[in-house]
A and B are shown apart, each in its own frame.
Chain A
């Protein structure tokens, strides 16, 4: 069964460093998303991506964040100058015309 895969599963980074979280969406899907879940809080929408551009973003997704689809398979989330409060589980998702399928998540710990 096709699935969304995310790497790494866990990333530890020092405050102020840049991180890139990687995702391989399901191959025939057209819409791609990033969500995050801070420990003990709700899963929050960050950004959606379609046709090589951002289609919607939340107020969380400020200039610190960027997304890219560098080739035909990967979808990345870059976080510049990480802060302690960026520590969270980051989920990638993809969808065709229907429901979204989620990856296993990357746990980002900023120290």
Chain B
């Protein structure tokens, strides 16, 4: 079955860039997502990319996809203390109905002032 893996923890200084990495195994056409979870809160969709794209930029967020290596990264520019959270990578195969997500274990990002 599908599997998604992430590193557990990232510490970054305020103002620096953060890069969170993710690898996945599904070889079919797929959507790849980044969700953010703040303490006590739900899963907030940050951005997503379709597997035929290499890059997507949305304000401070840049998603890079290396489809050959099945490697996805999320870069957060000018990281702020409010970016401290757990970031989940997830993938979903293209289907006619609905999109079941397979999540990674999450990367805890700690932003130090």
Q: How far is the CA of A95 from the CA of B33 in the complex (A)?
A: 14
Residue ID in chain A nearest B100 by CB atoms: A45
| B42 and A104 contact, CB distance less than 8 A | yes
Cβ of A56 under 8 Å from chain B: yes
| A45 and B35 contact, CB distance less than 8 A | no
Additional A-B contact list (20), CB under 8 Å, known A31-B97, A35-B103: A6-B42, A31-B99, A33-B98, A33-B100, A35-B101, A42-B104, A43-B43, A43-B88, A43-B103, A44-B103, A45-B101, A56-B98, A95-B98, A99-B31, A99-B99, A100-B45, A100-B101, A101-B45, A104-B41, A104-B42
**How would residues 74 to 113 of chain B score, 1 for a CB under 8 Å from any chain A CB and 0 otherwise?**
0000000000000010100000011111111110000000
| Residues of chain A at interface, number, CB under 8 A | 24
Residue ID in chain B nearest A57 by CB atoms: B100
Q: How far is the CA of A55 from the CA of B102 in the complex (A)?
A: 16
Q: How many residues of B sit at the interface, in one of the four size bands? A: 20 to 34
Tell me whether chain A's interface is mostly helix, strand or loop, or mixed. Answer: strand
Q: Which of B26-65 contact A (CB under 8 A)?
A: 31, 33, 35, 41-45, 48
Chain B CB within 10 Å, residue with most, of A56, A91, A100: A100
Cβ of A105 under 8 Å from chain B: yes
Which residues of A lie under 8 Å from residue B42 when comparing CB positions? 4, 6, 91, 102-105
4 tightest A-B CB contacts, nearest first: A31-B98, A104-B42, A102-B43, A43-B103
| B43 and A56 contact, CB distance less than 8 A | no
| B105 and A48 contact, CB distance less than 8 A | no
Which residues of B lie under 8 Å from residue A101 when comparing CB positions? 45
Rounded to whole Å, the gap between the CB of A27 and the closest CB of chain B is 17
